[in-house]
Structure 1
Amino acid sequence: MESKIDILVTLDENYLNPLKVMLTSLYYNNPNESFNIWLIHERIPEEKINNLRKLTDFFHWKLNDIKIDNNLLGDAPTKKQYPKEMYFRLLAGEIIPNNINKILYLDPDILIINPIIDLWNTDLGDYMIAASTHTGMTDITTEINKIRLWNDNKYYNSGIMLMDLRKTRELIKLKDIIDTIDKYGNQLLLPDQDVLNFLYSQHIKEVAEEIWNYDTRKYLTYFTRSLSKHNLQWVMENTSILHFCGRPKPWDPKSNSKFTALYLNYKQLLNRIEKNY
């Protein structure tokens, strides 16, 4: 029986087009894999879900559309800095069916440019999540975050996470998230990521950011830190996931980064696919 990789995305309708570009890149660079896509959302219109399903059907993937009832979150704060999608990601174990034990969460603002099977097969051991840090040149941000979040652990980016759902069901509780926001909300700079790191960083296994969560703003940092090894040729051959952190996003007219043209190429491939169904 063919084994499938379970992919989780949590977003609103404003990110559907970037999601389709991301899925297109996933398809072209993982030709030997099959995927189950789990989309958790609150209010994406059915016609837009059906449009997305045309793409996943074209790829011969299954799209699992899970619309969340407001009752799930109870008294959880939901405003601009605490979007509902933040909770959907952290509480995925409570939302995804219990027969799914592992899932790979992906932000929509990424490109997959090489196979991801090695990330999927990462041995988590006793860890709950595998994720990357974005350390910069001197790693000073890690020390700042240790002080800011009162722990001695590394600070992990929540945009790409391999999650052991058996452990998330055991360890991640909505009450703990709400209590953290109530107590420390004014000190949280990147709320969902800060909550993840404050509560659960000791349960996260680090995976190489240069491979699995490459911050496209930091080409010169990676290049310099690697003593000029990680040039564009190295990235195209070795990096699997490019993450377009910050702004402008690659679909914005103002974007002109080293990787904008690559993104637009996958956008063009998507456009060609959509003309054929």
Structure 2
Amino acid sequence: MSDVVIASDRNYLHLVSICVVSLFETNPDRKLHIHLLSNGVDVEDLGVLKTIVERYRGELSIYPIENLRDRLTVDVPSTISVTSYARLFVGSILPENLDKVLYIDCDIIFNGDIRNLFDTDLADNLVGGVLDPLISCTYKKEIKIPMNEPYINAGVLIIPLNLWRSERMEQKFVDYLVANGGKVHHHDQGIINAVCAGRKKILAPQFNVMSNSLCYPWKELYKINTPFYNQEEYKKGISCPAIIHFTGAIYGRPWIVGCTHPYANKFLQFKTKTAYKNIPLKPNNQSILHHLEGTLYRLLPFELFKRYMQSIYYLSYFKHSIKK
């Protein structure tokens, strides 16, 4: 039995359903137990998810997490759903007989066999994840980790629960958050990268192919990331993704009008196998700046687009520094 953990509030359970369908469809021979960390999801929607899991002969367990803000002990920015912080507390939320779990965000779909992912040997590492492709040294400075420390994306994580419990990781996460006044760059992802520094297992890139992985050439990502995957490994991973992570950015997201992501149709195909198949796409309310980013990416030569993005990045960092 393989244990998969997802957190959601009432706004995103349709994405959870699509994600779960894709998991079962692409891994039909695997016995799967879905653990949903539920932040106020209604009973009706939970029933819909249960029907899906039972259709594929899987198991579903539900854990209420409405007390997340109390667990954090400090206010956090409203720029991200507080539900995202739930992954920090899986050691105490989930049953003690669970040792290792796969934690996933709900904005992903599965696209292939993930047997090797479940079988990952973490040794003495505190977490396993895929390197985030567009992380500059500035982001590492923000969370005070060395420039040569790997920075992983928290959307797909292998978590050794027993190790988290024995090393009191939950308290360490909260202590780090409090020490930073509740404001950590990249929120819970930044916390995990900082607190687990020196003990991260780097997973193959195909297990979390983010939108930026598909937008930017390998040589550009390699320049700004230390460490990073070699060219052959990276290109092989993104050409045959086992997990596709719709992280927005240039392409947009497939549940929103105007998405140009190359795997958007795959998402919509899985959507047709859920009770949410007829719900319309959400209107595109992205900012003018984000809309311009996508437009320029499609129209400009990459070198000119890159210069534009660099100017936006430096302007943003300058404003951030002034506020601090």
TM-score normalised to structure 1 length = 0.84
Partner residue in 2 for 1:195: 191
Partner secondary structure for residue 256 of structure 2: coil
Amino acid at match of 2:116: D
Amino acid at match of 1:24: V
Counterpart in 2 of 1:241?
243
Matched, 1:264 2:261: no
Larger Rg: 2
Would the aligned equivalents of 1:156 and 1:201 in 2 still touch at CA under 8 Å? no
| Residue of structure 2 equivalent to 1:48 | 45
Q: What TM-score do the two structures reach when normalised by structure 2?
A: 0.73
- Cα shift at 1:81: 4.3
- Find 2:159's aligned residue among 163, 173, 179: 163
Q: How does 1:8-87 map to 2 (within 5 A)?
A: 8-68=5-65, 70=67, 73=71, 75-77=73-75, 80-81=78-79, 83-87=81-85
Query: Residues 128 and 204 of structure 1 are in contact (CA less than 8 Å); yes or no, is this contact kept in structure 2?
Result: yes
Q: How much has 1:134 moved relative to structure 2?
A: 1.8
Residues 77 and 183, structure 2, Cα contact 8 Å, conserved in 1? no
Q: What CA deviation, in whole Å up to 9, does each residue of 1:168-187 have, x standing for no partner? A: 11234444333322332476
Mapped to 2, the partners of 1:90 and 1:41 lie a distance apart of: 14
Spell out, residue by residue over 1:105-125, the C-alpha distance to the aligned partner (whole angstroms, 9 max, x if none): 011111110011100001111
Indicate the structure whose relative CO is greater, using CA pairs within 8 Å and at least 6 residues apart: 1
8 Å contact 1:53–1:63 — kept in the other structure? Answer: yes
Runs ≥4 residues deviating over 6 A: none
Q: Supply the RMSD in Å over aligned alpha carbons.
A: 2.7
Gaps of 5+ in 1: none
- Contact 2:253 2:261 (C-alpha < 8 Å) held by counterparts: no
| Structure 1 contact 9–38 (Cα < 8 Å) conserved | yes
Q: Deviations over 1:122-178 (max 9, x none)?
A: 111111211011234xxxx35333322222211111000011101111234444333
Residue identity in the other structure for 1:177: F
Distance change (3 Å), C-alpha of 1:134 and 1:173: closer
Letter in 2 for 1:180: Y
Distance between the aligned counterparts of 1:102 and 1:62, measured in 2?
A: 17
Taking the aligned partners of 1:135 and 1:82, their CA distance within structure 2 comes to 20
CA contact (8 A) 1:112 1:240 kept: yes
Contact kept? 1:7, 1:38, Cα under 8 Å: yes
SS at match of 1:66: strand
Number of residue-to-residue matches in the alignment: 263
2: distance between equivalents of 1:186 and 1:46?
A: 32
- Aligned partners of 1:96, 1:106: CA distance in 2, in Å? 15
What residue in structure 2 maps to residue 212 of structure 1?
A: 207
Identity across matched positions, percent: 22
**Structure 2: 5+ residue runs without aligned partners?**
223-230, 279-324
Classify the secondary structure of the residue corresponding to 2:40.
coil
